[in-house]
Chain A
């Protein structure tokens, strides 16, 4: 009986993850961030990533994550291929701020 307890715990964790992890990306259609650093689109200055002044929000919906909107955008943006967020693509809501 004790031998199978480990397997039972694994199954429990699998079940828990099935119910609590988002399997699909939630696309917030119509919402996007324009990411302008140093006044030029696509600039690589990562130190300015947290400055709301560098972001322009375009869309009709509201962001469903806590924290200020531009941070939600930063945290949820997909990678642009250079390790920087790409705000032209869809993003998923994430919670920790």
Chain B
């Protein structure tokens, strides 16, 4: 019982952390649009898709925020966050391993992180989201129903 309470709290905290993170980075990329585009153009891996990604990445981040804010699509939001974070992490790992020149295309204060710290930062979020999703899948939510009125009590 105590364990499930902790897991429920992790789920809630993860959701709010992701709302903050994606709102912040999404807006940063939109506000600092020119620098973001320049960074994408300097990345050998995604240079050809830069003009699409410069809008797609912040829009997807803000859409995920909308999903996380909604009660109905909360779990979908968490699943999308996991996919996006995994894609970001794979990209950062690829850049560190294979690219000599490393342009930074992240938003706001996140760009102050070193590349290895960025991997740790992303991995921490991936871990949190995975725990939240596993908890949500394995956990049954019960609603007490009044036998006579058949309404939730």
Contact = CB atoms under 8 A, between A and B. Distances in A.
Given A7-B69, A10-B23, A49-B101, A79 B108 contact: no
Contact of B37 (A17, A74, A75, A79): A79
Contacts of B27: 13-14, 17, 21
Interface stretch (A27-35, A37-45, A55-63, A89-97): A89-97
Nearest to A46: B44
Interface of A: 5-7, 9-10, 12-14, 16-17, 20-23, 25, 46, 49-50, 71, 74-79, 83-85, 92, 94-97
B91 to A, nearest CB: 14
Interface of B: 15-16, 19-21, 23-24, 27-28, 31-32, 34-35, 37-39, 41-42, 44, 47-48, 50, 65, 68-69, 100-104, 106-109, 111-115
Contacts of A85: 38, 42
A6, A95, A96: which has the most chain B beta carbons within 10 Å?
A: A96
A16 B24 contact: yes
Given A17-B24, A83-B47, A9 B19 contact: yes
Contacts of A49: 101
Q: For the complex, would chain B's binding face be called helix, strand, loop or mixed by DSSP majority?
A: helix
Nearest to B44: A46
B31 A23 contact: yes
Contacts of B65: 10
Contacts of B47: 83
Nearest 9 A/B pairs, CB to CB: A96-B104, A13-B23, A13-B24, A17-B27, A6-B69, A50-B101, A21-B28, A13-B20, A9-B19
B21 to A, nearest CB: 8
B28 A17 contact: yes
Given A5-B16, A10-B19, 15 more contacts: A6-B15, A7-B69, A14-B27, A17-B107, A21-B27, A21-B32, A22-B35, A23-B32, A49-B101, A75-B38, A75-B104, A78-B34, A79-B38, A94-B35, A96-B106
Nearest to A13: B23
A84 B114 CA distance: 24
Contacts of A6: 15-16, 19, 68-69
